[in-house]
Structures are given as structure tokens and as C-alpha cells.
Amino acid sequence: MDKLNIRKMKEGDKHFILELSSRFTEFDLMEWRNPHKMKEAQLKIAKESINNEDPDSDIFVIEDEMNNLLGFLHMTKNTDYFTGESQGYVSSIAVSKDGEGKGIARKLMEKAEEWSRKKGYKQLTLNVFKKNERAVHLYSKLDFEAEIVKMVKELK
């Protein structure tokens, strides 16, 4: 990928973002999770994100030199429960199948860091499903550390 451009979302990008939200469940979910309900929930979150006018929230898309959209990043503010400090928060990040393996996610995460620094935040946070091994691996390579681990037991 020679020339990549990251820019703020435009009205015409919304359909791409909604379609790409289906990628958020393309990994093995916990057995008790209903894949259909998870897809519905992810679509709902994406719809809320693209229509959000919060000044502490931005959506960016990444495109190649031919203006083909390859991924998106939704950034927002998080407040640390324990310190009350504001932090950058990666609400959503997704890469299209065409963008896989081309450093797109890494570029978007660099944008997330840049966005957070410009806002004066000292931390960048995100949530990821443990079974989304590809994403967990990427975040680990980018020096993210697990801080809180949510444990779940299915009761039968």
C-alpha cells in the first residue's frame, strides 16, 4: 500500500461503515453467545456511532490512492473509573477483507494515538474479545497490556 489517506468520515462513507460492522463477529464467539444477536448489536452500535454528534467523538476512514475504503476507526473519550482522568478510547476499528495484511489496522491505531495525544490524553484504551486472537495479537505488538479481565461462566 503506497499511498494511504486517513480522513474524517463523510456522509457517503456511512454505508461502508455499516457493512464493515459485520466483521466484528468474524471469530469464534463464546458458546453461549448468539451470533445473530451479536451481529444485530454490532450493527446497532455502528448506526449510533455514525449518527453521533458528540464533540469528543470522531470517525475516520482509511482509503487507498484509488479512493477505495479499506477500514475505519471510531474514537471517543473514556473516563477512568478509578482516577477520573480522561482517556482516548478506540470504540471500533475494522478493516475490510481487501485491506487485510496490508498494515491498515496498524495505521488506524497510529491515528488513534495521534488523536488521543492531540486531546491531551495520557492513555489509549480499548476492549477486545479474548477469542479475537488476531486483534489481541496486534494490540499486544502495539504495546497494549491487559488491565482488567472479564470472566464469564455459563450457568446451565
User: What is the tens place of the pLDDT at every residue in 44-65?
Assistant: 999 999 998 899 999 999 999 9
Would residue 152 count as lying in a domain? Answer: no
Residue 93, in any domain of the structure: yes
Assess if residue 150 is contained within a domain. no
What is the domain extent for residue 18? 5-141
Q: Residue 86 is part of a domain; what is its CATH number?
A: 3.40.630.30
Residue-wise pLDDT for 5-53, tens only, equals 999 999 999 999 999 998 988 888 888 999 889 999 999 999 999 998 8
Please, which residues have CB within 8 angstroms of residue 55's CB and are 6 or more apart in sequence?
A: none
Number of domains in the chain: 1
Is the residue at 148 inside a domain? no
Residue 46 covered by a domain: yes
The verdict on residue 78 lying in a domain is yes
pLDDT digits (tens, 9 = 90+) for 112-155: 999 999 999 999 999 999 999 999 999 999 999 999 888 888 89
